[in-house]
Amino acid sequence: MDNEVINILSMAKVIQTAVAPVFLITGIAATLGVLSNRLARITDRARLLERRLKVSTDDDFNLSLTTELRALLKRSRCIHLAFSLSVLSALLVCAVVMLLFLSHIQSVNLGVTIGSCFVAAMALLIFAFMSLLCEVFLATRSMRRGMIFADVDIND
């Protein structure tokens, strides 16, 4: 077989190998969408509470608003951490794809580097999901304590 045909076939194999990490990047992008929506909702709620806190003179009400703002701050920290870890994970997956192609083009064995990047990407993604889970637990705990709906009349 012609050397050029062999190179094209081997490049096709590299492209096939790179498809799985590209799907992973798509999944991470979907996760980033979920995280940014959760952060936007937390931010909107915090802004509302801050406006109410500025105009309220009731000390008990202000204390409940401050308590909820603290809970929202904890939740936003978890989301921020999850977002950052997810982005770092996606960057490492991109590095895996790039290294796959560089390894083929330069005929250099980068197997250990590629494997290390992929393992690191998965570890970051695991921690990102754990941080998201922590935020969900905080949100659920806030609801159970009645902080979120404290100012809503249940009889409506």
pLDDT at 20 > cutoff 90: no
What domain count does the chain have? Answer: 1
Per-residue pLDDT, 144? 77
pLDDT tens-digit readout, 39-66: 999 999 999 999 999 998 888 889 988 9
Range in 57-66, 71-80, 108-117, 120-129 the model is least confident about = 57-66
pLDDT at 108 > cutoff 70: yes
Per-residue pLDDT, 2? 65
Q: Which residue has the higher pLDDT, 144 or 39?
A: 39
> What mean pLDDT comes out for the span 129-150?
83
pLDDT at 76 > cutoff 70: yes
Provide the residue range defining the domain that includes 37: 1-155
pLDDT at 156 > cutoff 50: no
Spatial contact of 79 and 42, defined as CB atoms under 8 Å apart: yes
pLDDT at 112 > cutoff 90: yes
pLDDT at 70 > cutoff 50: yes
> Which of 83-87, 103-107, 109-113 has maximum average pLDDT?
83-87
CA angle 64, 156, 75 (to 5 degrees): 35
Q: Which of 100, 113, 95, 99 is nearest to 11 (CA)?
A: 100
pLDDT at 13 > cutoff 50: yes
DSSP structural state of residue 150: T
HEC secondary structure over 87-133: HHHHHHHHHHHHHHHHHHHHCCCCHHHHHHHHHHHHHHHHHHHHHHH
